[in-house]
Amino acid sequence: MSAIECRGLRKDYSRGDQVIHTLMDVDLSIDAGGFVALMGPSGSGKTTLLNLLAGIDRPTAGSVRVDGTDIAALGRGALAAWRSTAVGYVFQLYNLVPVLTAYENVELPLLLHPIGRTERHRRVAEALELVGLADRHAHLPRQLSGGQEQRVAIARAIVTRPRMLLADEPTGDLDRDSADQVMDLLTRLNGELGQTLVMVTHDPATAARAARTVRLDKGRIVEGASPTAAQREVGE
């Protein structure tokens, strides 16, 4: 069963009188619970595609369906509500609030949800435990290593229990050991929680951890647009 279906997806940007075609006629299917790496040279459209899947940006043409919902057709308020529950986003540079503790950074997304303080505490504690940082809950970002900061960012992304986890170069700013630890964590979350995971990366070693690789070049998918039968079995 497909969790993500993109059909005829196009994204253009204007730069003065020039139109930049960032994505062109993209068709993409990703099964529920799948783990997909997006690869390609700089400027190939990887992050643009990720942002369209997250509802952060809107396509110029085409459709993006997530669990049957055409998110490109949602109004601003409905899209924000959908994004707050359906998507967890992991950034390359963590995007943690420097004056907040690890606990408070992870709690932030839950403040937008109508849940009580006790439930918020339970979910934050659970997320920090999952990423192995329960004992660092009171630390500020500057008191953590890069790998630990990224794990806090992952805890923040999963604390709302989203169906889909999107990661933009999650290991791009880390040394090899820290990168391996982050990928161990993402792979485990994908397997144990069954979250659909889509990750942008330039690193072949990182991409090798995914069940499937989709390659883009000059705004088009050149390899891996649809899952194979073997990849479907891995996701089931």
User: pLDDT tens digits for the chain (236 residues)?
Assistant: 689 999 999 999 888 888 889 999 999 999 999 999 999 999 999 999 999 999 999 999 999 999 889 998 899 999 988 998 899 999 888 899 999 999 999 999 999 888 999 999 999 999 999 999 999 999 999 999 999 999 999 999 999 999 899 999 999 888 999 999 999 999 999 998 889 999 999 999 999 999 999 999 999 999 887 665 445 545 55
Please tell me the distance from the alpha carbon of residue 25 to that of residue 132, in angstroms, as a whole number: 41
223 occurs within a structural domain: yes
Structural domain boundaries enclosing 9:
2-95+164-235
23 occurs within a structural domain: yes
| CA distances (Å), origin 8, targets 60, 113, 116 | 10, 34, 42
Q: pTM for this one?
A: 0.89
230 occurs within a structural domain: yes
Side chain identity at 88, as an amino acid letter? G
Burial 163-198 (b: 16+ CB within 10 A, else e): bbbbbbbbbbbbeeebbbbbbebbeebbeeeebbbb
198 occurs within a structural domain: yes
128 occurs within a structural domain: no
13 occurs within a structural domain: yes
Here the CATH number for the domain that contains residue 79 is 3.40.50.300
What is the residue-wise DSSP string for 197-211?
A: EEEE-S-HHHHTTSS
Please tell me the distance from the alpha carbon of residue 218 to that of residue 169, in angstroms, as a whole number: 19
Identify the DSSP state of 28.
E
User: Domain count of the chain?
Assistant: 1
pLDDT at residue 225, rounded to an integer: 75
139 occurs within a structural domain: no
70 occurs within a structural domain: yes
